[in-house]
Amino acid sequence: MQMALLQCATRCGDFAGNLDHLEECLRGQPDDVLYLLPPNALCGVELGSLAQASALPGAQSQALQQLAARFPQKHLLVPFQKRWGKEQRFCCAQLKRGQFHEIPLTTLSSPAGLAVGGLAVEGKHLGLVLGCQAVPREDPLADFTCQAFAGKNLDALCFFAAFAWSPGLQACLESRYAAFAKTLGVPLFAVAAVGGEDGSVFHGQSLAMTSQGRLSARARAFQEELLRLDAKGAQAKPAASPAPLEALWLAMVRGTADFVQHSGLSKVFVGLSGGLDSALVLTVAAHALGPEQVYAVLMPSPYTSQASKEDAAALVRNLGVQSLTLPITPLMQTLQQYLEPTLQAFPAQRGDVTWENLQARLRGLLLSTLANRAQALVLNTSNKSEAAMGYSTLYGDTIGALAVIGDLTKTQVYAVAHWYRSHFPKEQEIPLRILEKAPSAELAPNQKDSDSLPEYSVLDPVLEALLAGSAPTSEGECSLQKRLFAAEFKRRQEPLALMLSTRAFGSVYRLPVTARFRPPVLA
């Protein structure tokens, strides 16, 4: 029995579009092959509350019938979630000879979206495993899967995966798959979802393993691919798994491209300051969408250094993106004159940043207005370190439809930028001076981020530990923890971020806004 793993992207809720896309993927492919498709290939993986729509089951059943009718000679397996909510129910649709029938799957773990079942095909007994919500990293889940098939006399195990990417995920999955294959003594085939859905990014890397748990085939990361396997379930040369920084880069490019295109738009605006955060976001956007669809907006103030202007202009030339320059100095002066008489009724307190915040909000206003007229999206340029500490201006530098680097600490931003410089042509490079100068919002004379925050080399390791649940071990760490909690109200109003870690703000790490908090006793 020949198998093929169809690692394809979907658009959430777009049954007609997904049907057409599957037809493109399968057109011209041989009929004497069993095709495995990713979970929910017709409706998308992360439906959220849309899953509760009463019309969804009927629409999904109709789409499966249409898929079977379009390919009456093809043999397809398409796992899907038939019922959501407290009583989750999973099935696998077998499409053959223009018809489909449902193979019920037994739920092992609702939180993990883990379900199992079996199917006989051409005299071969296949074990079916669906995993579509949380990665089964814990041993008990692995045990459940193996116990479900113990003594079943299987010929192969087919795993259908839709787990949102995070660093180290593929290595974890391959370890699990190897354990399944060796324990059950059968070859394993795993087809995975690929592409972006809102903030989630699915990385693909569908694979095959021998009964000894040895990798025999692997599809590319973050790209669609039809992985054809020979009679032994192998390919000539399995695709390499990307290194950690390359994987981050690929996830950002794929997630940004799919978010914008799935929104029905093509153009984006990026506020370009001459600093590293906006430089990296602009670079990602140019690669994701093409430079002709990307507009860099330079909005210098009286405090913008000449070096920042030069660096921003150099990056625009290197990437070949469109650019606009809108100085905000006249607007600042006009609003200061207009507001000053009224603001005098409220004496400035120590550390007052009213005029600094005004600059950020003016820039946000300009970007939003341009995007309105151009029918485009604004890409946010804030990083995770800033979001954690509340080092941002609501309705200013927090505006945007998608925070491309919102789940990357500043340390990671530097690391990805250095990786990019060493792997892409000099003509497309991020100017070195952008990476070498001290980070600054340039909202006041000689301002630096370190005036308000610890150095990022100090802050980021502490932040990672706090997000992992560690107790602070010093007064300084207690202070940072207080700021982390106090900034939650800002994070609730920040744009959706691409999820690039296991502790993304908003989706995984979420704090009560009004809770009274006292730091734990120092460890």
Domain count along the chain: 2
Residue 285 lies in a domain: yes
* 334 has pLDDT over 80: yes
Look at residue 460 and tell me if it is in a domain.
no
Residues 123 and 232 in one domain: yes
Residue 211 sits in the same domain as residue 309: no
Cα 340–Cα 342–Cα 346 angle in degrees, nearest 5 = 95
Q: Does residue 307 share a domain with residue 397?
A: yes
Q: Is residue 472 part of a domain?
A: no
C-alpha distance across the termini of the chain, in Å: 59
Residues 265 and 160 in one domain: no
By residue range, what is the domain housing residue 91?
3-241
Percentage above 70 pLDDT, the chain = 94
Distance CA 234, CA 371 (A): 48
The CATH number for 261's domain is 3.40.50.620
- pLDDT, greater one: 89 or 218: 218
Judgement on whether residues 153 and 208 belong to the same structural domain of the protein? yes
Residue among 451, 450, 480, 449 nearest 465 (CA):
480
For residue 312, what pLDDT is reported? 97
Are 52 and 122 within one domain?
Answer: yes
66-70, 296-300, 406-410: the lowest-pLDDT one: 66-70
* Same domain for 90 and 221: yes
Same domain, 18 and 105: yes
| Cα–Cα distance for residue pair 291/282, rounded to 1 Å | 9
407 and 290 share one domain? yes
169: left (phi over 0), alpha (psi -120 to 50) or beta: alpha
Q: In the sheet where 75-83 sits, what is the strand order?
A: 215-218, 207-209, 188-192, 156-161, 124-131, 114-121, 99-109, 89-96, 75-83, 34-36, 3-7, 225-228
CATH code: domain of residue 144 = 3.60.110.10
Segment 455-483, tens digit of pLDDT = 999 999 999 999 998 989 899 999 999 99
In 3D space, the residue among 357, 296, 299, 361 whose CA is nearest the CA of residue 329 turns out to be: 299
**pLDDT(114) > 90:** no
SS3 76: strand
pLDDT at res. 46: 83
pTM (two decimals): 0.94
